[in-house]
Homo-oligomer: A and B are copies of this chain.
Amino acid sequence: MVESRRGASARAPRTKFQSLEEQRIIVGDCVAEMSKLPGASVDLVFADPPYNLQLKGELKRPDESQVDAVDDDWDKFSSFAAYDDFTRAWLLAARRVMKPSATIWVIGSYHNIFRVGAIMQDLGFWILNDIVWRKSNPMPNFRGRRFTNAHETMIWAARDEKAKGYTFNYEALKASNEDVQARSDWLIPLCTGEERLKDGGGKKVHPTQKPEGLLARVLLSSSKQGDLVIDPFNGTGTTGAVAKRLGRRYIGFERDKVYAEAAERRIAAVEPLPAETLAPFMTAREAPRVAFSELIERGMIAPGAKLVDSKRRYGALVRADGAIMLGDKVGSIHRIGAVAQGLPACNGWTFWHVETKGGLRLIDELRAEIRSEMTAA
């Protein structure tokens, strides 16, 4: 571990990664480097491979400004066959290191996802779901010749058809979704603003940085605290940052040293959430109605934040999975609101508040914001 860390850092001092015992980035080709890992050692794979965009010319907005397209060398392939070979190679290497109970996520767009999915099936992966990431703020279609490309697709698959015992945190997902099963379409904004890594000149470090909200939902739904998560295409380290925050171990593979170093700094700066916000959520068959996790994914409420009632008599801790905690009691916002008051029931939405600069704010107002966005969509 120390060896590889030193190798990865090249010019950086050895001390730089001391905080990354549990999260590390290996600089090199992911196929070669994954082959050095022991087999059947990984709990979850998240992969954001090159999409093989085949852009012809330049694209301009109606105001004649230039769209900053993905024209990096790492996204260039000579043919579909070359892309397929590349895909088969990294999928096989990933499959070898997966535990029998492990699952894999691969994200892509229509340019590549069909090829990736077919190859996954051919290699024996067993698809569990395809998940649609609906972008709340996609780039429009400037020429009006197609539908706005407003989503990307993720394939979630087990190592093989017979795989048993994969992790799916059904109860926690349901409790944080109005007590309704989580669906295969997720509405999440693009990675913009503060979250987007910029270089000294204010330019984006990586053209395709994924939002942390997306990775948080992936890791919360299909991994457990302490699990080993790997990402063959580390990029700026979104997977690693979220893994660290959520108490998962992480290994990322990245060929580009600039990306790798930016990711190392980013991950080092992440503060893991307190262990109690991540403890497995076991209760909940009778969990009351909640639609709380989206507020967390959108950054409206941070895990670890405190919810209080209007008179600040009670305070509850927000967990990463959308449940809250008061003393040793864990449950939905409704249940814990009831416990706090010693009542049989409580509508948590109209009971709990968050502290803001402008004073207390009812969480129901935050929900209303999301709802108005959803009905607009």
Q: Is the CB of B110 within 8 A of A114?
A: no
Residue A182 is within 8 A (CB to CB) of chain B in the complex: yes
How far does the alpha carbon of A107 sit from the alpha carbon of B129 in the complex, in Å?
Answer: 16
A249-265 CB mask vs B (1 if < 8 Å, else 0) is 00000000000000000
Q: Is the CB of A182 within 8 A of B145?
A: no
Q: For the side of the interface on A, what is the size category?
A: 35 or more
Residue A80 is within 8 A (CB to CB) of chain B in the complex: yes
Q: Is the CB of A168 within 8 A of B184?
A: no
Residue A101 is within 8 A (CB to CB) of chain B in the complex: no
Copies of this protein, total: 2
Residue of B nearest to A110 (CB): B130
Residue A122 is within 8 A (CB to CB) of chain B in the complex: yes
| CB-contact partner of A184 in B118, B129, B148, under 8 A | B148
Chain B residues whose C-beta falls within 8 Å of the C-beta of A109 in the assembled complex? 130
Q: Is the CB of A64 within 8 A of B343?
A: yes
A113-157 CB mask vs B (1 if < 8 Å, else 0) is 111111011101001111110100010110011111111010110
| CB-contact partner of A129 in B129, B146, B156, under 8 A | B146
Q: Is the CB of B185 within 8 A of A168?
A: no
Contact A185:B121 (CB < 8 A) given known A114-B113, A344-B64: no
Main secondary structure of the interface of A (DSSP, over half): mixed
Contact A185:B184 (CB < 8 A) given known A64-B344, A129-B149: no
Residue A181 is within 8 A (CB to CB) of chain B in the complex: yes
Q: Is the CB of B131 within 8 A of A183?
A: no
Residue of B nearest to A143 (CB): B170
Residue of B nearest to A344 (CB): B64
Q: Is the CB of A145 within 8 A of B170?
A: yes
Chain A positions within 8 Å of B, measured between CB atoms, are: 60, 64, 73, 76-77, 80, 109-111, 113-118, 120-122, 124, 127-132, 134, 138, 140-141, 144-151, 153, 155-156, 161, 168, 170-171, 173-174, 181-185, 221, 343-346
